[in-house]
């Protein structure tokens, strides 16, 4: 399947799941509290498909799929609608606007709550899913990073970050991301059979430095991939020199090599120049001379040995994590991770307001489609993690105190609770205009960032 096809399928699947769950939260709360639902729609605009529920609480309600797959809605009976006509006393009791304040608030808040609950379940399933993952072994960090200053040399196994147990490299990535605004981070690593604690401290930001870039670059902790040859291309420079699958490269021209990235950099810088490799094979070391082939990469030439690294996901690879969580443990971790993701989303939003995070981080439907396509091709767990973080983003965004969003409705309810009566018609109209302006501006910014990223 092409990337475009994967992106389209992933996007439609993600929207269908996330929108349906959000609106279903509103729907279930409305039916539970005795409010009549006129239509449950996935999508906006012209209705493409519609049907009536025939069983249980769904009986008699209209369900629809509409043409624009960028949201959805639950239309409830409301006496303020101009097209409802004259209602009987029984029907009027089932209208949304005739309910007591706490019922209306529960119905409004149920949508975002459903998104948060979905995220917990998605995280739990992803964390318990029986899929192999990379062990959290770190590479040798660059000299100017927080990891290097803290004492990481490369080859250590991370067992804890900020007091949280680490099972695989996905856990490491998440903890580094969730602590992107911290200036200090505690790691526990297993190094040559013993555990030691390290403190990563972020360097002060230089004058004029982009605050977002520094935060998103992380702490300088990278994946460790040993410089072991997996396959040798027939009749390539490595094959003619006598290199074999399973050889571990120890040095290039007496420069020590610890991991695959270092080997790649040194070989690329040696196009058409003979280099001396220190090689370990079957426990013995030897020297092999080889001349990397020069190949074009843009406007420059780089060296190639015509070898590939081993597949880290082969059975028996010591680069794989073997620890797995049971569902109970995964559910608890899913709840914690959902809370962390919610706090991080709120913190990023505040960072955009305060200028600490660039507005270029706002992404739109094109970025979402790209993320959905990439994670869908990567596998079940990657797609579930993607859905979880987007579900939390939807929940948080809908709770913003902006008219037209659920948070704006809850803000109206707060005023009503304080004042003792709903906001005036004029206040509602002004609020609606503000809400339309905000949503339009946010959508335009997100689309601009999407297109800017694609075409630049």
Q: Domain with 179 in it: what CATH number?
A: 2.30.42.10
Q: Which residues contact 177 (CB under 8 A, 6 or more apart)?
A: 218, 344
Would 375 be classed as within a structural domain? yes
Are 391 and 405 part of one and the same domain?
yes
State the pLDDT at residue 399.
94
Would 10 be classed as within a structural domain? no
State the pLDDT at residue 407.
93
Would 26 be classed as within a structural domain? no
Are 174 and 300 part of one and the same domain?
no
Would 31 be classed as within a structural domain? no
The residue segments making up the domain with residue 365 are 103-125+326-456
Q: Which residues contact 317 (CB under 8 A, 6 or more apart)?
A: 310, 311
pLDDT along the chain (456 residues), means of 10: 72 89 94 91 89 80 86 88 73 88 95 96 88 76 81 87 87 87 89 88 59 56 79 91 92 88 89 94 92 81 87 57 73 93 91 80 80 82 91 93 90 90 84 84 80 70
Are 258 and 296 part of one and the same domain?
yes
Would 51 be classed as within a structural domain? no
Task: Report d(CA 32, CA 37) in Å as an integer.
Answer: 11
Are 264 and 197 part of one and the same domain?
no
Are 181 and 238 part of one and the same domain?
no
CB atoms within 10 A of CB 204: 8
Are 266 and 350 part of one and the same domain?
no
State the pLDDT at residue 310.
74
Are 339 and 439 part of one and the same domain?
yes
Are 319 and 173 part of one and the same domain?
yes
Are 355 and 441 part of one and the same domain?
yes
Would 268 be classed as within a structural domain? yes
Q: How many domains does the chain have?
A: 3
Task: Estimate to the nearest angstrom the gap between the alpha carbon of 239 and the chain centroid.
Answer: 41
Are 263 and 354 part of one and the same domain?
no
State the pLDDT at residue 110.
96
Report residue 300 as tokens.
């420059």
Strand, coil or helix: what is 48? strand
Are 115 and 150 part of one and the same domain?
no
Q: Are 331 and 120 in contact (CB under 8 A)?
A: yes
State the pLDDT at residue 208.
47
CB atoms within 10 A of CB 285: 11
Q: Catalytic amino acids?
A: 23
State the pLDDT at residue 337.
93
CA-to-CA separations, 191 to 138, 232, 235, 355, in angstroms, rounded: 11, 32, 40, 40
Q: Render the burial of 124-157: b for 16+ CB within 10 Å, e for the rest.
A: bbbbbeeeebbbbbbbbbeeebbbbbbbbebbbb
């Amino acid at each position: 399947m092409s990337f475009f096809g994967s992106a389209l399928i992933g996007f439609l699947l993600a929207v269908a799941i996330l929108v349906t769950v959000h609106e279903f939260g509103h729907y279930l709360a409305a039916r539970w509290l005795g409010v009549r639902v006129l239509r449950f729609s996935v999508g906006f605009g012209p209705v493409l498909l519609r049907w009536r529920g025939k069983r249980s609480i769904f009986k008699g309600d209209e369900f629809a799929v509409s043409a624009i797959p960028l949201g959805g809605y639950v239309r409830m009976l409301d006496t303020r609608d101009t097209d409802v006509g004259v209602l009987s006393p029984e029907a009027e009791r089932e209208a949304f606007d005739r309910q007591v304040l706490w019922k209306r608030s529960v119905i409004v808040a149920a949508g975002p709550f459903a998104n948060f609950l979905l995220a917990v379940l998605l995280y739990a399933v992803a964390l318990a899913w029986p899929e192999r993952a990379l062990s959290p072994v770190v590479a040798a960090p660059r000299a100017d990073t927080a990891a290097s200053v803290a004492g990481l040399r490369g080859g250590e196994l991370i067992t804890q970050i900020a007091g949280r147990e680490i099972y695989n490299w996905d856990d490491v990535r998440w903890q580094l991301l969730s602590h992107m605004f911290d200036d200090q981070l505690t790691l526990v690593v297993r190094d040559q059979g013993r555990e030691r604690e390290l403190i990563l401290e972020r360097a002060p930001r230089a004058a004029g430095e982009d605050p977002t870039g520094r935060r998103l670059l992380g702490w300088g902790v990278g994946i460790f991939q040993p410089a072991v040859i997996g396959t040798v291309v027939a009749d390539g420079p490595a094959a003619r020199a006598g290199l074999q699958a399973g050889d571990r490269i120890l040095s290039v021209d007496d420069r020590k090599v610890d991991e695959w990235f270092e080997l790649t950099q040194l070989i690329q810088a040696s196009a058409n120049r003979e280099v001396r490799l220190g090689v370990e094979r079957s426990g013995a070391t030897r020297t092999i001379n080889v001349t990397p082939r020069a190949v074009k990469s843009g406007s420059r030439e780089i060296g190639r040995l015509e070898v590939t690294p081993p597949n880290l996901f082969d059975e028996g690879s010591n680069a794989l994590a073997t620890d797995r969580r049971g569902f109970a443990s995964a559910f608890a971790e899913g709840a914690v991770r959902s809370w962390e993701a919610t706090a991080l989303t709120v913190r990023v939003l505040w960072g955009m307001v305060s200028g600490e995070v660039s507005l270029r981080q706002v992404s739109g439907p094109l970025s979402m489609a790209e993320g959905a396509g990439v994670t869908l091709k990567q596998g079940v767990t990657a797609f579930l993690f993607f859905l979880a973080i987007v579900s939390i983003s939807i929940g948080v965004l809908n709770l913003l105190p902006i008219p037209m969003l659920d948070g704006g409705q809850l803000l109206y309810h707060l005023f009503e609770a304080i004042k003792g009566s709903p906001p005036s018609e004029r206040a509602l109209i002004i609020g609606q205009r503000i809400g339309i302006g905000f949503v339009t501006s946010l959508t335009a910014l997100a689309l601009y960032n999407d297109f800017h990223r694609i075409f630049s």
